[in-house]
């Protein structure tokens, strides 16, 4: 059977939520929330992962999801750790992030952080394989 590739429209916004300069640790009070809307030809794509994470420890994004940070972090700034992934239905997903949990000294610094999200997954339906792919870029401003 032939393989096809379909482009997903991935839209992403970041809510600062509780992320403030000096905030740290794997907890809701130091977290920001990335909201993602995924559609294909205007139709929500709501089967790209199940909810995981407890907001207080590192969590893994679903297979095919890659969140990239660190390419635009100001000197002394921290990378991030995902602590929760939520599938809210209707093609809407939330990703909770905190400063890098493997370094206890990691804190949010005031300024802008840029994130890229790539989704690349494969589906097989009735013997036909389809690659779904899309990406987005968004900015988090920490005060």
In tens, the pLDDT along 106-137 reads: 999 999 999 999 999 998 888 899 999 999 99
> What does the alpha-carbon distance between residue 71 and residue 80 come to, in Å, rounded to a whole number?
12
CATH code for the part of the protein at 10-136: 2.60.40
Average pLDDT over the chain, rounded to an integer = 94
Classified as helix, coil or strand, 78 is coil
In angstroms, the Cα distances linking 111 to 32, 43, 95, 143 are 14, 35, 20, 7
| C-alpha count within 13 angstroms, C-beta hemisphere, residue 135 | 9
Mean pLDDT of 78-95: 96
pLDDT value at position 70? 83
> Residue 76 — very low, low, confident or very high, per pLDDT cuts 50/70/90?
confident
pLDDT value at position 73? 76
Res 72 pLDDT > 90: no
pLDDT value at position 124? 85
Tally the residues of the chain: 143
Percentage with pLDDT > 70 across the chain: 99
């Amino acid at each position: 059977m032939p393989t096809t590739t379909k482009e997903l429209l991935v839209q992403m916004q970041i809510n600062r939520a509780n992320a403030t300069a000096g905030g740290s640790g794997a907890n809701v009070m130091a977290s920001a929330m990335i909201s993602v809307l995924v559609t294909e030809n205007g139709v929500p794509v709501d089967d790209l992962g199940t909810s995981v994470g407890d907001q207080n420890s590192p969590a893994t994004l679903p297979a095919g999801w890659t969140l990239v940070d660190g390419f635009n972090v100001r000197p002394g700034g921290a990378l991030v750790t995902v602590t929760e992934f939520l599938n809210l239905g209707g093609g809407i997903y939330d990703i909770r992030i905190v400063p890098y949990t493997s370094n206890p000294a990691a804190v949010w610094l005031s300024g802008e952080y840029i994130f890229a999200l790539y989704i690349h997954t494969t589906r097989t339906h009735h013997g036909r394989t389809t690659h779904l792919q899309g990406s987005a870029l968004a900015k988090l401003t920490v005060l």
